[in-house]
Amino acid sequence: MEGDQSPGGSAVSQDTYLLIGGAPPLQQGRPRSVPRGCRPWRLWHRTSLCLAGPRKASWRRRVVVLAVLIAVLLLLLYSLGESSHRTIMSMVRGRPPEAAFRCNGPVNTTSQLPHPHAPPRPTQSRLREDPKVLLFTETQYSRTGQAIIHILVANRIKYKMEGKYGVVVFENFERYLQIDPWNRELLDKYLRDYGVGLVGFMPAREETQVGAKLRGFPLYVHSNLGLENVSLNTDTTYTPLEWAAPSLPHFSEERLILSILDKGDYDGISRVLFGGNLDFWLHRLLFLDAVSYLSLGRISLSLERYILVDIDDIFVAKKGVRMTTDDVKALLDSQWRLRELVPEWRFNLGFSGKYYQNGYPEENAGDRMLLEHVDEFWWFGHMWGHTQPHTLTQEKLEHQMQLNKQFALAHNIPTDSGYSIAPHHSGVYPVHEPLYDAWKKVWNVRVTSSEEYPHLYPARLRRGFIHRNIMVLPRQTCGLFTHTVFIDKYPGGRQTLDSSIHGGELFLSIVYNPISIFMTHLSNYGNDRLALYTFESVIKFIKCWTNLSLRTVPPLQLGEKYFHLFPNERDPVWGYPCADRRHMQIWAKEKSCEQLPKFLVIGPQKTGTTALYTFLAMHPAIVANYPSADTFEEVQFFNGKNYYKGIDWYMNFFPVPANSSSRFLFEKSATYFEGEMVPQRVKALLPHSRLVVTVIPPSKRAYSWYHHMRAHNDPTALQYTFHQVITAGDGDPRALRSLRNKCLVPGMYAKHLERWLDHFPASQLILIDGEELRSDPVYVMNDLQRFLGIQPFYNYTEHLRYDKRKGFFCQVTEEDKTKCLGRGKGRIYPPMNESDAKLLKEYYQPYNVALEKLLTRLDYPVPKWLEEELQ
C-alpha cells in the first residue's frame, strides 16, 4: 500500500504497500532479534505489532548465504541418507540425521515468559465477560473462511458469524469496504465505542494490479506478487508486519508490505490487513496475534506450552530396529541438549517387560543400558505383552499388569507415575470398563492419553475427559509411527517431515495446543533416530521464531493443568461407536450398536408418556429397556449422574441382540425433554434415533404434576398449595422455588423443542398430542408406527379398549378382559380453580404462541388444544 495524506492531517509513511498475492512461495525466513521498544507479548516475536526499530539493510545477503548453507547441508544429508540405506542389513549404520534447522539469530533459550500476555491498551468501555470473534465469511464453505474457523476452533477461541464481539474478521476485506454507508457507520461506531479491532484479508488475484487506491483509505494496493522475507519498519499509522517481493520489473529494489497494522490514526479503528490467505504458517501466527492485539488482549492465548514426549514401546520392536547402546547414548545426549531449550526436559518411557532382551546382542545391550539409566527418565507401565485391552477380561488385564509391575520392581523402574497408555488406544475410548478397573487396582492410574476422543480426525478437535476419576488427555500426532525408521523411507520423503517441523502440522500442533502429548516408539529412537531429529528440530524452530515458553512436567501434573485450563472438558460426551471405523476396531466384539435404542420417548412428565410406554411395549417388534432398581421403568441416563457411568452401564438395560434381530429397542425417560445437556448427549450417542415428544395443555400438565408429587408424598408439595407453588417468588425457600421450576419449566414446550431441533432434524422428531393419545390411542399408535417405520404393522384396534369405569383406554388381555394402568394413573383430584387457570394461561401464552409458530413452520399438525388455548 502506498501512503497518502490522511484527511485528519496526520502524516503517513511514503513507502507503505500492501501486497495482495497469489499463493506465496514459502521461503525459509531468517530470524531477527526483537527490536528495542517492542513489547514481545505476542506469539510471534520476529515482527512487531508495536513500536519497532529501523530495519537492517543486509537482508539480501543473508538470504543468499542462508540458501547456500541449506543447499550444502541438504547435499550432505542426502549423501549420508544414501549410505545409511545401503547398510541397513548389516546393522552398521551411517550417521542419523541431526536437528539441522539453522537459526541465524540466537535461539530463544529463555524459559520464562518475556512479558505477561496482558492487554496492550486500556479501554473505557467494557465488553461482556466472554469475548468472541465476529466472523464474516464469503460463503459457508469458502476456503480462507474455513481456514480461519479451523484456527479459532483449534485454539478454542469462541466465534460467531453474527451478536457482542472482541474482534471482527472479514474473510474478504472488500466486503467491508462495500457495506452501505449507513450500516458501515453503525459497525464502525461499534468498533470505536468498544475499542474492537478488525482483521481483513485481501482476496488473492490472478491478474497483476499496480497501485489501485483502496476505497475510502489513503492506501494503494498492488496485487499478484510473491511472499518475500519478513522484517520490521518504523512506526507510522500503517505499520508493516510482513514484506513481499517486488518481482515485477517496474518495481525498484524496495519491498512491499504483505500484512499491515492500521493503528487507527485515520478513522479511530485499528485493523490488521493481510494480503492473500492463511496458507503460510507465519500468517496463522500473525492472525492469532492480531486477534489478541485488536481485542485489547481479551482474546489471547497464553504463551506457555507444555510438551510431553512418550516413548510408548520400550522393549517392543522387531530385531534390527531396536535401540543399541549408541542409540541410548544419543537419547541421553539429546535429552541434555533439549534441557537447554525446555527446562527439566525428560522423555517419558512406557515399557512392556515381556520383550526385554528380545533383540540382537547389541540391541540387548541397549535394553540393559536403558535400565542402567533408569533415573534419567520418567517411566510408566505400557502393557506386559502389548495386548489390546479391549480383547481381555478384567482378570486377564490385571494379570498382565501384575507381570509388568513385577518386572518394574525387579529392575528398579518407578511404579508411581499414575500414568499409563493402552496399546493402540484400545479400551480408553470407547471405554472398556475392565481396563479402567484394572488400571486403578494394579497401577493406581490417574491419567492416560488417547488420540481417539472424540475421534482421531480431525486432530484439531481432539479433547480430554475424565472417566471414573481417570483423566484422559488428548494426544497429538508427530508423524512417527512404529514403521517410520529411516529418513529416506519417510512417507512423502524427508521434505514432508521437514515441512511439518518448519511451520507445518507438528509446529502448529504445539502452537495451537497449550498441552501436547506426543506418542513415539522404540524404533523411532534406533536406526535414524527420527524422533530425536524431529523433536530437537521443532523445538529449535519454535524457539527461533516464537515467543512461546516451552515446558515439560510429569503426566499427573500435566493432567491437572489440562483440566484446570479446560474445565468444560471434564465431562465426557459419549459418542456413537459404530460411526467410526477405528472405534469399532477397538471395541469389544460382544458389544454392538444393535444394543442401543432406536427411539426414545423423551417426555415431558405427566403428558401420557407412561400410557404410551405401555402401548409401545405391547407391540411384538418393540422392546423396552429393563427396569432400573432406582428409577423403575425409566433409565434416566442422559440427564443426570447415570451418564457418568458410561455406555456399558447404559447398554446393560437392553437385551443382547439376537441373530435375526429386527427388534426396535426403546426407552422412555420423561425428564429428558427439558434437560439442558440431553439433546447434545443423545445426538452424540444415538445420532439416528427417533424422538417421541408428548404434549398436553401446559397448565393442565403443571397441575397434574403437582398432584403427582403430592401422591408420592413429596414433602414440599404436601406443604404448599398449588397456588403457592406456581406463584413462588425469588425470596421463597429454595425447595419451593425448585418445585416451582420443575412444575412450570417443562411446559415451555417451544423453548425445549428448539433446543432439540438445534441437534436433530425435524424429520427425526414426532410430536404426539397427549389428549389425542387418551381419546383415540389407536389412531395415534398407527401414526407412530408409520413414523418409526416398524414392521410388522400391529393392529391396535384389537388390543386396546375403552374402559368406562377407568375413563381411558386399556390393554385387552388374552381372556378378553382389560388390563389398565396402575393406581397412580388416571388419578382424580379437584379441578384447578379459575384464578390459577387464568394465571397459567397468561404465563404460558407466549410459549404457546411460539409453539404454534414452530409447528406451522415445521409442517407438524397443530393439536386441537393448542388452537383452543390461542383463541
Q: Report d(CA 682, CA 650) in Å as an integer.
A: 12
Which is nearest to 607 in space by CA: 699, 537, 675? 699
Q: List, in sequence order, the alpha helices (H) in 439-580.
A: 494-501, 505-512, 530-545, 555-565
380 or 576, CB closer to Zn ion?
Answer: 380
- Nearest distance, CB of residue 88 and Zn ion, angstroms: 23
Cβ distance to Zn ion smaller for residue 313 or 363: 313
Write down the catalytic residue from 132, 263, 606, 683: 606
Q: Who's near 214: CB < 8 A, 6+ residues apart?
A: 1, 18, 177, 220, 221
Binding of Zn ion by 313 (CB under 5 A):
yes
Place of cell 517431515: 497
Window of 100-108, 176-184, 419-427, 700-708 that interacts with Zn ion by CB under 5 A: 419-427
Q: Of 518-557, which residues contact Zn ion (CB under 5 A)?
A: none
DSSP class of residue 424 equals: G
In the annotated binding site, the residues are 704, 825-829
Q: Least distance in Å: CB of 460 to Zn ion? A: 24
Of 313 and 667, which CB lies nearer to Zn ion in the complex structure? Answer: 313
Asked about 606 being catalytic, the answer comes back as yes
Nearest approach, Cβ of 349 to Zn ion (angstroms)?
12
**One-letter amino acid of 237:** T
Q: Name the segment binding Zn ion (CB under 5 A); options: 2-10, 14-22, 309-317, 774-782.
A: 309-317
**Judged by CB, which is closer to Zn ion: 423, or 604?**
423
Collapsing DSSP to helix, strand or coil, 580 comes out as coil
> 335 is written with which cell numbers?
535429552
Q: Which three cell numbers stand for residue 195?
A: 475499542
Smallest Cα–Cα separation from 239: which of 17, 436, 425, 41? 17
Taking CB under 5 A as the criterion, the residue among 97, 166, 246, 423 binding Zn ion is 423
Binding mask 375-414 vs Zn ion (x if CB under 5 A, - otherwise)? ----------------------------------------
Taking the complex as a whole, the smallest distance from the CB of residue 519 to Zn ion amounts, in Å, to 8
Between 24 and 423, CB nearer to Zn ion: 423
Phi, psi of 786 (to 5 degrees): -65, -45
Instruction: State the nearest-atom distance from the C-beta of 421 to Zn ion, in Å.
Output: 7
Amino acid at 836: D
Q: Which stretch binds Zn ion (CB under 5 A): 76-84, 421-429, 463-471, 682-690?
A: 421-429
Helix orientation angle between 734-744 and 698-711, rounded to the nearest 10 degrees? 130
Find where cell 471434564 sits: 570
The smaller minimum CB distance to Zn ion, of residues 312 and 772, is found at: 312
310 near Zn ion, rule: CB under 5 A: no
CB-side neighbour CA atoms (13 Å) of 393? 2
Burial of 867 (0-12, 13-18, 19+ CB in 10 A): exposed
Contact present, 342 and 550 (Cβ < 8 Å): yes
- Closest approach of Zn ion to the CB of residue 855, in Å: 54
Cell of 459: 486432530
Nearer to Zn ion, 423 or 608 (CB): 423
- State the nearest-atom distance from the C-beta of 311 to Zn ion, in Å: 10
Task: Please tell me the count of residues contacting Zn ion according to CB under 5 A.
Answer: 3
Q: Judge contact between 141 and 148, C-beta under 8 A.
A: no
Smaller CB distance to Zn ion: residue 285 or 519? 519
**x-or-dash string of contact with Zn ion, 143-172, rule CB under 5 A:** ------------------------------
Contact segment (CB under 5 A) with Zn ion among 420-428, 471-479, 709-717, 792-800 equals: 420-428
312 binds Zn ion per the rule CB under 5 A:
yes
What nine digits make up the cell of 825? 394413573
Q: How far is the CB of 717 from Zn ion (least distance, A)?
A: 57
| CA quadruple 833, 835, 838, 839: dihedral sign | negative
The Cα 415–Cα 624 span in angstroms is 46
DSSP codes of every residue in 69-121? HHHHHHHHHHHHHHHHHHTTTTT---PPP------SS------S-SS----SS
> Which region among 33-41, 295-303, 311-319, 444-452 touches Zn ion (by CB under 5 A)?
311-319
Query: What DSSP designation does 44 have?
Result: B
Q: Are strands 690-695 and 599-603 parallel, antiparallel or unpaired?
A: parallel
CA distance 201 to 184: 17
CB nearer to Zn ion: give 281 or 347: 347
Using the minimum distance from each CB to Zn ion, give the nearer residue, 228 or 313: 313
Minimum CB separation of residue 427 from Zn ion in Å reads 13
Give least dist CB 435 to Zn ion, A: 14
Classify residue 489 as exposed, middle or buried by CB count within 10 Å of its CB (0-12, 13-18, 19+). Answer: middle
Distance CA 794, CA 782 (A): 8
Q: Which of 525, 518, 422 has the alpha carbon at shortest distance from 479?
A: 518
Stretch that binds Zn ion, among 72-80, 204-212, 307-315, 497-505 (CB under 5 A): 307-315
Neighbouring CB atoms inside 10 A of 858's CB total: 13
Pull the grid cell for residue 329.
Answer: 547414548
Residue span binding Zn ion (CB under 5 A) among the ranges 2-10, 416-424, 701-709, 714-722: 416-424
Intra-chain end-to-end CA distance of the chain, in Å: 65
Q: What is the 3-state secondary structure (H, E, C) of 790-834?
A: CCCCCCHHHCEEEECCCCEEEEECCCCCEECCCCCCCCCCCCCCH
Name the amino acid, one letter, at 283.
H
Residue span binding Zn ion (CB under 5 A) among the ranges 148-156, 230-238, 306-314, 466-474: 306-314
- Closer by beta carbon to Zn ion, 48 or else 520: 520
CA distances from 541 to 60, 160, 504 (A): 21, 33, 11
The set of residues, in sequence order, having a beta carbon less than 8 Å from that of 371 and lying 6+ positions away, is 411, 412, 413
Min dist. Cβ of residue 562 to Zn ion (A): 22
CB of 370 to Zn ion, least distance (A): 16
Gap between the Cα atoms of 452 and 330, Å rounded: 32
Instruction: With beta carbons less than 8 A apart as the criterion, state whether 93 and 87 touch.
Output: yes
CA atoms in the 13 A half-sphere facing the CB of 382: 29
451 contributes a contact to Zn ion by CB under 5 A:
no
3-state secondary structure of 450: strand
Which residues are annotated as part of the binding site for 3'-phosphoadenylyl sulfate?
A: 704, 825-829
Q: Give the binding site for Zn ion (CB under 5 A).
A: 312-313, 423
**Residues annotated catalytic, as ranges:** 606
